[in-house]
Amino acid sequence: MSTPILSVKNLTVNFGGFTAVDDLSFNLYPGQKLAIVGESGSGKSVSALTIMQLVTLGTRAEIAEGEILFTKSDGSVIDLLKTSEADMRKIRGNDIAMIFQEPLTSLNPVFTTGDQVVEAVQLHQGLDRDAAQARALEMFERVRIPRPEKVLNDFPHQLSGGMRQRVMIAMALSCDPRVLIADEPTTALDVTIQAQILGLMRELQKDTGSAVMMITHDMGVVAEFADDIVVMRNSKLVEQGSVLDIFSKPQARYTQALLAAVPQLGSMTGEDNPRRFDLIEVPEDRK
Amino acid sequence: MTPLLEIRDLSRTYRLKEGGKVHALEHVSLTLGRAETLAIVGESGCGKSTLANLTCRLDTPNTGEILLDGADITKLGPREMRAHRRKMQMIFQDPFASLDPRRTVGFAVGEPLIVNGLMCKGPELDETVAALFERVGLLREHMQQFPHQFSGGQRQRICIARALALKPELVIADESVSALDVSVQAQVINLMMELQEEMQLSYLFITHDLAVVERMAHRVAVMYLGQVVELGTRRAIFENPQHSYTKRLLDAAPIADPRQRRERSLLTGDIPSPVWADGEAPERVSMREVSDGHFVAIEH
């Protein structure tokens, strides 16, 4: 296999006495669609924020151990945990971009959507304003925003949730990042809109070849989108493998229990009456 | 036999300050039988929560009737309503917001019994509450604790215990399991299904999650822009959907099985707005019965 673009090694993150991420290791390869799956409090979002070096900003978080190796476009490898804030700023948004769950809170309410994309492009790509405007329009067309010239001049509150998430994706992809981290990108959206956004992300990923790390609790979204899965529980990695392997023959008892609890559309075909879940008990391993 | 709940031609509009009206609910008619689960599915703004709020009279319809055990409750005053309200209880989406943070959860579960004058504070009430706690899978010792000491799933169990305190016939569950983690969600769904069998409860189960509906509903109503566009047994809706919107919803729902991955359309259709100018209103749909009990809105 090729060299990973991102390699998380033995990462441990503490919040005071609480270990939010415990000895986590995984690789992300160029062009890979990797899902980090887990329930609330499993440490999946903290892992993402740590990669972006956003976790220690204004929190008590402390990175106790580990390294996060990132292969830059020139082939050199750096440890993001040892990278200065000034250098991180050049990487964030440019090499590694992020999409969050709630597009309304991630967009600035007092600037038009166009201005926000233009700002990102100008900062990272060094384009002049006209070129950045053209790039923003091109990105809006690419994420299939209807009437993109108009939406460029709209404020976030004027858009629906689905359109806002398209703007976020346009912004995230505007600088051709090699890694896209998407933290629950479809969770706040209606199901028909979710399907559109997932389809869009899949197609854009195919076009750009960037690696995508998707954080989600939704096994339906994972099954639709990911090539590979990392399952987390209580701050630890439980199991990792290809999406087909994990869904068809999960090894860890927790993964088995998790999948047994997922309602699967179509699983009740031919049955007249509702049926309970056959749940698997897993003992809590947290002290 | 009269159904437990019969909703006839129910409509609700909300006037906007800037002019025009939100047509939240448009001529909705439904029935819910005893010990039956009717799922109301649809996306944001389709009127499903308005329907829940009207049904338990947290809100008043513009027109239409709501018959509970054959009696129209839309015209009752607060005092007369109280006797009926006992028969129906609600479980909400967010178990963090629906419990008073300064009261013990034991008090929260016992309060409906006191308010309705069925019991006074004392050993009898404590025993009843303890039995409810045990029934929903909590411990008697939990009664003295406060909401913040519980996880989301435990809190939803407390809300279920509170809803059951008055031995209701109808439980209105508005996105009651949507905020829960998947393993906890499955446990709560199992609990709700067990309680249904034991107590012959009827659920008006409001959700956007089709996979959950397929698991627990007997009948399904699909709503779109304030109207019911398809109504039928769970099997009719899932195995033989007729309306284009039902098909679209089913196509969009992610399937938790990577072998069934489908190509996604890249359409950008947002749901149209339910806001209409004064004097205008959406066209009223008429339904046709495609098979026994399976109704579909006629599309043009």
Q: Do B266 and A218 count as a contact with CB atoms less than 8 A apart?
A: no
**What's the CA gap between A275 and A7, in Å, rounded?**
43
Average pLDDT, chain A: 91
- Which of A248-262, B51-65, B112-126, B271-285 is predicted least confidently? B271-285
Q: Do B256 and A223 count as a contact with CB atoms less than 8 A apart?
A: yes
pLDDT digit string, tens, across residues B189-233:
999 999 999 999 999 999 999 999 999 999 999 999 999 999 999
Q: State residue B93's pLDDT score.
A: 85
At A109, the pLDDT band (50, 70, 90 cuts) reads very high
Span B251-255, average pLDDT = 89
Nearest to A116 by CA among A91, A159, A152: A152
Q: State residue A287's pLDDT score.
A: 41
**What's the CA gap between B173 and B212, in Å, rounded?**
13
What is this model's ipTM? 0.85
At B267, the pLDDT band (50, 70, 90 cuts) reads low
**What's the CA gap between B13 and B280, in Å, rounded?**
12
> Given A199, A218, A258, which is nearest B265 (Cβ)?
A199
pLDDT digit string, tens, across residues B125-171:
999 999 999 999 999 999 999 999 998 899 999 999 999 999 999 99
At B276, the pLDDT band (50, 70, 90 cuts) reads confident
pLDDT digit string, tens, across residues A153-210:
999 999 888 889 999 999 999 988 999 999 999 888 888 888 888 888 898 899 889 9
The pTM of this model reads 0.89
Of chain B residues 90-129, which have a CB less than 8 A from chain A? Answer: none
Chain A residues near residue B238 by CB distance under 8 angstroms: 265-266, 268-269
pLDDT digit string, tens, across residues B221-245:
999 999 999 999 999 999 999 999 9
Span A13-27, average pLDDT = 94
Span A107-124, average pLDDT = 93
Q: Do B182 and A39 count as a contact with CB atoms less than 8 A apart?
A: yes
**Neighbouring C-beta atoms of residue A249, cutoff 10 Å:** 10
**What's the CA gap between A69 and A76, in Å, rounded?**
10
**Neighbouring C-beta atoms of residue A168, cutoff 10 Å:** 27
Q: Do A218 and B187 count as a contact with CB atoms less than 8 A apart?
A: no
**What's the CA gap between A269 and B234, in Å, rounded?**
10
Interface test with B, best of A277, A281, A282 (most B CBs within 10 A): A277
Chain A residues near residue B194 by CB distance under 8 angstroms: 276
- Which of A22-31, A126-135, B25-34, B261-270 is predicted least confidently? B261-270
Q: Do B211 and A264 count as a contact with CB atoms less than 8 A apart?
A: yes
Of A136-145, A188-197, B270-279, which has the strongest mean pLDDT?
A: A136-145
Q: State residue A285's pLDDT score.
A: 60
Is residue A244 predicted with pLDDT exceeding 90? yes
CB-based contact, B292 to chain A, within 8 Å: no
